[in-house]
Structure 1
């Protein structure tokens, strides 16, 4: 069992390293393509850091021929757990970062672009609500595939809206391209092929880590006599959402609060569309009580965030509620008898 835990931790490290490379690469790609910072945060960075949460359920759902039930449980747990983690723990971490860097920043409250954040949440809430409700009823294969296609169309529409935004003058990338020094280039003036190489390596690392993660979490749950779906619901997002949390903390330290929040809210939109489309296409989409609890708490947390986005400042009390929301989820799991 100790060996499985070590390999599981190593797979985490591979996933996170790949996500770091990918995110750094796509941020530079956005800079070179003159894409608006809101779109960089909500699409490029959000999609990049959401790759682990996407690959894990994809691998679980597409490679589970020998143990289909366990793989499906892991896949659905990861799909539902990601929005929960983003809407609770990720916001809580942002609140902690705002407090930790208050002297450097000269303020505690986050200064965000209200319209951008509310736009993301307005995409996320109705879509995710419908999908949680759909998990409580019997859906035939044809209807599930129609819904999966509809989700892809919704996300494509969201992407078009974001890419039409204009990039602010003077917007810069704070850190250089990681791969550029390997070829003795200037990391602050990266070449296109170096950006493409780093993005490709990042994707491959995430994929390798995700494949090993799925195998180990099933083996670990069997040895620990735990439900693989519940373990995935708690453990998968906690680890794979680290890139979003890490990026947001860095951006808060740099005073780029709007990018920090856009990274989280943009990832919510992505998680409510692309991974769920996979779940609808390759599973019966029957949500268990722990998954329904997770979805309900995620929706409630998003409503609280939306209501408190009244102006360009987001106070830490609103962000700290995320920690209480996740604690409520853990208490709920105990009540359901799965912890």
Structure 2
């Protein structure tokens, strides 16, 4: 049992290390390609840090041969759990960071771009609402595959909208490319091939960690006599959303509140489309009561955030509500007898 916990922890570390490499690499790629900061946060960084949450259900759904039911449960738990974690715990962490760095920042409230944040949430909410509802009834394979293709088209349209935004002339990347230090280059003047090498290394590390993570979740759940879907619903997003939380804390400390929020809201859009498309294509998409509870709380938290994005300032009380929402989720799991 102990060895499985150790391997599970190591797989976390590999996933997070890969995400850090990928995010750092794509941020420089965005800079080199003159991509708008909103797109870097909501598209590039969000996709990069969302890769663990995507690879885990993908590996679970595609590799479950001998234990198909358990692997499907792990996959669906990770898919639904990611938006929940982003809309609750991630926002709570942002609020905590704003309070912790208030002296350094000279303020508590976050200064964000209201239009960018609301654009992301307006994409996320209706799409995820429809998919949660769809998980309550039986769908044939044809309808599921049609919905999967529709989700890919929705995300493609979102990407086009983001890539058409213009990058501000004053936008800069504050930290150097990690691999340039290894290849004895200048971190703040990275070469194109080094950026590509770092991005590739990040993807491979994330994939390696995700494969091991899925196997250990199934084994750990069996030994602990726990429901693998519920364990994945809680544990998978808690670990794999760390890159988003980590990036947002760093950006809040640096006063880049718009990037911090964009990283979270952009990841929400990604999580409501790409991983769900995988779930629709490679599983029956039958959501259990814990998963429906998670989806409902995520939607409620996003609705509160959208309503409170009235101007360019986002107060910490709105962000702190995310922590309360996640606590309600855990209480609800106990009420459902999921533990």
SS at 1:243 equivalent: helix
- Deviation string 1:182-210 (CA, Å, 9 cap, x unpaired) is 11110000000000000000000000000
Superposition map of 1:314-325 within 5 A: 314-325=314-325
Give the distance between the partners of 2:12 and 2:194, measured in 1 at CA: 25
Name the counterpart of 2:334: 334
Q: Which residue does 1:38 correspond to in 2?
A: 38
Aligned-residue RMSD, C-alpha: 0.3
Q: Does residue 93 of the first structure (1) align with residue 93 of the second (2)? A: yes
* Equivalent residue number for residue 55 of structure 1: 55
3-state secondary structure, aligned to 1:170: coil
Alpha-carbon shift at residue 67 of structure 1 (Å): 0.5
| Aligned twin of 2:2 | 2
The secondary structure found in structure 1 opposite 2:178 is coil
Partner Cα distance (2:234, 2:202) in 1: 24
How far off its partner does 1:169 sit?
A: 1.2
Q: How does 1:212-223 map to 2 (within 5 A)?
A: 212-223=212-223
Matched, 1:283 2:283: yes
Counterpart of 1:176 in 2: which secondary structure? coil
Deviation at 1:296, TM superposition (A): 0.1
Q: Within 2, Cα distance between the matches of 1:67 and 1:195?
A: 39
Q: Which residue does the alignment assign to 2:255?
A: 255
Say whether 1:303 aligns with 2:298.
Answer: no
Is 1:28 the counterpart of 2:28? The answer is: yes
Once residues 32 and 40 of structure 2 are traced to their aligned partners in structure 1, the CA distance between those partners, rounded to angstroms, is 11
The Cα offsets for residues 27-78 of structure 1, whole Å up to 9 and x where unpaired, read as 0000000000000000000000000000000000000011000000000000
Give 2:292's aligned residue: 292
Q: What is the correspondence of 1:215-254 to structure 2 with a 5 Å cutoff?
A: 215-254=215-254
Q: Distance in 2 between matches of 1:60 and 1:338?
A: 21
Matching residue of 1:144: 144
Q: Who is 1:198 aligned against?
A: 198
d(CA) in 2 for partners of 1:154, 1:145 = 14
The CA distance in 1 between the partners of 2:337 and 2:292, in whole Å, is 15
Aligned to 1:211: 211
Separation (CA, whole Å) in 2 of partners of 1:251 and 1:33: 21
Superposed CA deviations along residues 87-133 of structure 1, whole A, max 9, x for unmatched, are 00000000000000000000000000000000000000000000000
Output aligned runs, 1:115-126, within 5 Å: 115-126=115-126
Distance in 2 between the 1:24 and 1:100 partners? 24
**Partner SS for 1:179:** helix
TM-score normalised by length of structure 1: 1.00
Count of aligned residue pairs for this structure pair: 339
Question: Structure 1 runs of 4+ off > 4 angstroms?
Answer: none
Moved more, 290-299 or 177-186: 177-186
**What residue ranges of structure 1 are gaps of 5+ in the alignment?**
none
User: Which residue in 1 is equivalent to 2:64?
Assistant: 64
SS of the counterpart of 1:287?
Answer: coil
**Structural mapping, 1:180-195, within 5 Å:** 180-195=180-195
Q: Given the two structures, how large is their TM-score scaled by the length of structure 2? A: 1.00
CA distance in structure 1 between the partners assigned to 2:250 and 2:175 by the alignment: 11
Task: Output the CA distance in 2 between the equivalents of 1:271 and 1:74.
Answer: 16
Shift of 1:258: 0.2
Q: Please give the residue correspondences for 1:150-161 in structure 2 after superposition, counting only pairs within 5 Å.
A: 150-161=150-161
Shift in Å at residue 314 of structure 1? 0.1
Query: Would you say 1:273 and 2:276 are equivalent positions?
Result: no
Name the structure 2 match of 1:18: 18
- TM-superposed CA distance for 1:154, in Å, is 0.1
